[in-house]
Amino acid sequence: MKKFSNVKGLFVLLFALILLLAACGSTDESGSNSDAENNETEETSDENAEQSESETTGEAGEKLVIGFSQVGAESEWRTANTKSIQNAIKDAGHELKFSDAQQKQENQIKAIRSFITQKVDAIVFSPVVETGFETVLQEAKDAGIPVFLADRAVDVEDDSLWVTFLGSDFVEEGRKAGRWLVEEMSDQEGPVNIVELQGTVGSAPAIDRKEGFEEIISGKDKFEIIKSQTGDFTRAKGKEVMEAFLKSEGENIDVLYSHNDDMAIGAIQAIEEYGLKPGEDIKIIGVDAVKGAFEAMAAGKMNVTIECNPLFGPQLVDLIERHFEGEELDKRIAVEESMYTMDQAEELLPTREY
């Protein structure tokens, strides 16, 4: 009887040892997640919660773990874009790891490194600025993790560091703004004094929208950009900088060209507080076509907005899946876009999705 209970005791001990070893193994795996940044959140659908390693290998048709490093939440446009991408990833049954960079490049670099440590299958990356990402993108490539650029491009020599870019043609958006202005002012004698609210310094949309606009007005002597400064794509800064423009140039200003609608909306407030009529005394051009711009246009306070469509989440996820199915993707894929004027605003406002 004693002998039997000794053998039984040995079995119990062995079983406990096996349990202990298994527990150690799983601590190691989840331990890698502790590298995640504070601003990083994991959004996992229920059925993914118990995901085994073989389910996340990133092969065709498999569930993927996708790290998404977003610029921030600086504008209406950005909020709509974040939702579109997050929903598309989750709706397709993939696992999302999300990080909001709060418009800081160093946060994005940390987030991408954290995604690499966590061995995600793919990284979606919308860079705050164009330059300075070579090293971290090389690290992703060395780890065998494909990077998909969403919305904004990077300026790197080696374009094998990313799979494809899906987003808008920002230069063309700037051209559209310039063409609208040239047409609108065709009967007007010069000078036409323009103030410009630029987006985030060093960002692709700020660089490209400026370039496209200047390309159209250059050589046409009556147009002059008399002031140009960044408003960092936010309403608060747009208002602040417009106040400064008004202080130094006052009624000299004929046109505001704003690199996004949020800054234009902030500027409209500054113009009204100054005692001028936005949309009449000062023509207002914005970019994005967010609801707020349609409201301002319907109220006669803004003249035109150039569309920049943020709702490309489903298209992006489709591209990621096609990559994992072995398809060779084009290096640049453009989102189709339009332009809307004041007279269309009231009719279109109820149909706007963002």
Region from 73-81, 114-122, 157-165, 293-301 binding ligand AHR, contact rule CB under 6 A: 73-81
By CB under 6 A, tell whether 152 contacts ligand AHR: yes
Contacts of range 110-114, beta carbons closer than 8 Å, 24 or more positions apart: 110/37, 111/37, 111/39, 111/40, 111/67, 111/69, 112/67, 112/69, 112/136, 112/137, 112/139, 112/140, 113/35, 113/139, 114/35, 114/36, 114/37, 114/40, 114/67
The CB-of-74 to ligand AHR minimum distance in angstroms stands at 5
Pick the closer one to ligand AHR by CB: 108 or 260: 260
CB-based burial label for 74 (10 Å; 0-12, 13-18, 19+): buried
User: Which letter, b or e, does each residue of 51-67 get, where b requires 16 or more Cβ atoms within 10 Å of its Cβ?
Assistant: eeeeebebeeeebbbbb
**Cβ contact 100:72 at 8 Å:** yes
By CB under 6 A, tell whether 260 contacts ligand AHR: yes
The CB-of-169 to ligand AHR minimum distance in angstroms stands at 12
Secondary structure (3-state) at 260:
coil
Pick the closer one to ligand AHR by CB: 89 or 264: 264
| Beta-sheet pairing, 304-307 with 339-341 | antiparallel
Q: How many residues bind ligand AHR (CB under 6 A)?
A: 13
By CB under 6 A, tell whether 150 contacts ligand AHR: no
C-alpha 195/C-alpha 92 separation (Å) is: 44
**Per-residue contact track with ligand AHR, 263 to 302, x per CB under 6 A?**
------------------------xx--------------
The CB-of-260 to ligand AHR minimum distance in angstroms stands at 4
Among 297, 308, 319, 320, binds ligand AHR (CB under 6 A): 308
The CB-of-332 to ligand AHR minimum distance in angstroms stands at 15
By CB under 6 A, tell whether 77 contacts ligand AHR: yes
By CB under 6 A, tell whether 205 contacts ligand AHR: yes
**Per-residue contact track with ligand AHR, 107 to 146, x per CB under 6 A?**
----------------------------------------
C-alpha 319/C-alpha 31 separation (Å) is: 31
Q: Which pair of tokens denotes residue 234?
A: 């936010």
Pick the closer one to ligand AHR by CB: 78 or 323: 78
Among 98, 115, 133, 233, binds ligand AHR (CB under 6 A): 233
Region from 69-77, 82-90, 131-139, 311-319 binding ligand AHR, contact rule CB under 6 A: 69-77
The CB-of-308 to ligand AHR minimum distance in angstroms stands at 5
Pick the closer one to ligand AHR by CB: 185 or 204: 204
Region from 3-11, 72-80, 136-144, 153-161 binding ligand AHR, contact rule CB under 6 A: 72-80
The CB-of-110 to ligand AHR minimum distance in angstroms stands at 21
DSSP 328: P
Cα dist. 325→34, 61, 294, 319 in Å? 31, 7, 41, 10
Report DSSP letters for 261-321, one per residue.
HHHHHHHHHHHHHHT--BTTTBEEEEEE--HHHHHHHHTTS--EEEE-----HHHHHHHHH
Residues that bind ligand AHR (CB under 6 A): 74-75, 77-78, 151-152, 205, 233, 260, 262, 287-288, 308
